[in-house]
Amino acid sequence: MQSPRVKTLVIDDDALFRNVLSDIFREYNFTVVTAENGLEGIKVFLEESPDVVIVDLVMPMLGGVSTCLEISRLAGDSPPILILLTSMFKGAPHEHESPEMGARIHIPKSTNPLDIVIIVEQLLDRKKYQQ
């Protein structure tokens, strides 16, 4: 078995969704760390330095927008891929030219978890190519 290649942080107050997403990423050989809210997520980000951060939009204590903005600020010149998950829209996953609500990538929570893994893999490939 290959060793995990990418560290992903999943920040979501919904334990079931957090576990489902974590399980599918682990199945595809990602290292996964999790947090239940934005404040915990920022702490885990600083401790673990993940390559990808997937953040729920609506959470107690610190919402997804503020969490993404703080992670971007803390990351400086080496930002992770930041993805904002939301159940507030049902459209297709989309990317913005510049960060909107703290993240360039917005994905509806209704998206199949395997499709989220595929999107992340494509974003990682693009980032590697651009470096």
2-32 confidence digits (pLDDT tens): 445 799 999 999 999 999 999 999 999 999 9
pLDDT at 76: 87
Furthest-apart CA pair in the chain: how many Å? 39
Between the alpha carbon of residue 21 and those of residues 55, 69, 128, the distances in Å are 11, 22, 23
> Residues 10, 56: contact at Cβ < 8 Å?
no
Encoded tokens for 38: 């934005």
Name the phi and psi angles at 89, rounded to 5: -135, 155
pLDDT, tens digit, for every residue of 76-110?
A: 888 899 999 988 777 777 676 766 677 888 999 99
Encoded tokens for 116: 């989220």
pLDDT at 15: 95
CATH T-level topology, domain 6-130: Rossmann fold (3.40.50)
Is pLDDT at 1 greater than 50 in this prediction?
no
